[in-house]
Amino acid sequence: MQQEQLPVVLIPGFMLDETLWDEFISVYPDSRRFIRASLSQGQTIAEMAGHIAGGLPERFVLAGFSLGGYVARAVAEAFPQRTAGMILIATSLREDSPEQRARLEAASRVALSGDFKGISPGAVKRSLHPSRHGDAALIQKVREMGKRLGAEVFRTQSGLERNGITLRPVSIPVMVVAAGQDQLRSDEEAAELADRFGCKVQVIDESGHLIPLEKPRELARSVYTWLQTSGL
């Protein structure tokens, strides 16, 4: 008798909403159930994790992109008996650098002072592979996600402390995915994650940081294969 597939909880990244996963879901190889989470509720990573977990079934697999990877780890830590596996995409164990934090704080002040129009085009381009810098539709899609979330969510997410997640051991399967040309997260950060969770890094080539938008088909194929191999 075939084991019933567990749902996969898709957690987006900084100033990205549930539509981040549209194409990933549309090209996914089978009829897996996906649950799209939001990072619009909560003032801390722990609060976001609790809010998400409150609406989930008893058992699930977590998939966190970028900031969503921190939240996924917090969910797994708070609800270890409910978490069957974890997929960490273009994320890190590290805090933001002082330079990153200063840039976010400055942008947050600007956002709250007037009409918030989403992430700036320049910031979006830094998240993309150079070949996509001229993709106006993709850049606008990312900016629209941020605009829908709004200035208050931008302020909250910009100020999140990422050092409150402990590193207690986990006994679940973990997948670490990195982009081949990520300008926001380094190869070293991906290697640290993989070493921490005892797995290998799976690299999506020809992609910048925004893997779910830039390479949804390749990501879907990798996730599908890993879930099948892991018996999830």
Nearest to 146 by CA among 232, 17, 48: 17
The DSSP code sequence of 153-184 is HHHHHHT------------S-EEEEEETT-SS
Mean pLDDT estimate for the chain: 91
Cα separation of 157 and 186, whole Å? 21
Classify residue 195 as left (phi > 0), alpha (psi -120 to 50) or beta. alpha
Phi first, then psi, for residue 106 (nearest 5°) are -65, -45
pTM of the model: 0.93
Three-class SS state of 36: strand
What is the CATH T-level fold of the domain 8-96+161-229, as seen in this structure? Rossmann fold (3.40.50)
Residue 99 has pLDDT above 70, yes or no: no
Residue spans in the chain of domains classed CATH 3.40.50.1820: 8-96+161-229
Q: Comparing 26 with 97, which gets the higher pLDDT? A: 26
Say what the pLDDT of residue 106 is: 58
Burial class (CB in 10 A: 0-12, 13-18, 19+), 148: middle
